[in-house]
Structure 1
């Protein structure tokens, strides 16, 4: 089932030139990045790093919106280490995999999982990627 938008909240507009060895800029000027091939040592970032930052930021925001039975709040010092792996699939094409390691200091494992599982059901990145790529969720 395709999730459709009933009410727009925000639209990001970017222009990329040169592909993985080019540049990317946002229409508002807030983003202006050089792009480099992963592992090339080039001066720019790459799409996998951008996905890792975007997904982890969105996921952390989603955790703050999760309503748990015991009203658990996300600690101010919460963080997410995101790993996005680019690899070759069995059919010879490319594939992505994501691992999010969520650090929620001061919470029990049960509280952590309640927030993580709730965020995975709420986060737009999770909803878009789940069932399409491998996603591993872990707590620290």
Structure 2
């Protein structure tokens, strides 16, 4: 049996494909359609090697900024990528308005 990509991070639903809505797994709350995630990655020199830096920009239309930040932080806590790279790759979380 091969491995299959399963997007995670606390959100689930058909919106990853650009339609429908998503649900926050921690609260069961339906999130509005139009949830966007964008992750610019920078690479630059660090000593004799190169290093990565990641910035995650999340847009949650219709969700108050404090609530959006809390939801995104909760998603980060269960994200396999975030867990695997914690302490190894600088990471910034930004809530877009």
Q: TM-score when scaled to structure 1? A: 0.53
* Counterpart selection for 1:107 from 38, 46, 63: 63
Structure 2 residue 9 is the aligned partner of structure 1 residue 62 = yes
Partner Cα separation in structure 2 for residue 62 and residue 10 of structure 1: 22
Is the CA contact 1:101–1:139 (under 8 Å) kept in the aligned structure 2? yes
Which has the greater radius of gyration? Answer: 1
Q: RCO greater where, 1 or 2, for CA within 8 Å and sep 6 or more? A: 2
Task: Please state whether the residue corresponding to 1:62 is helix, strand or coil.
Answer: coil
Task: Report the equivalent of 2:35.
Answer: 78
Which structure carries more strand by proportion?
A: 2
Task: Please state whether the residue corresponding to 1:119 is helix, strand or coil.
Answer: helix
Question: Unaligned 5+ residue runs, structure 2?
Answer: 12-23
Question: Unaligned 5+ residue runs, structure 1?
Answer: 1-8, 13-53
Aligned length in residues: 84
Q: TM-score when scaled to structure 2? A: 0.74
Which structure carries more helix by proportion?
A: 1
- Structure 1 outlier segments of 4+, above 4 Å: none
**Aligned-residue offset at 1:131:** 0.6
Q: CA RMSD in A?
A: 2.4
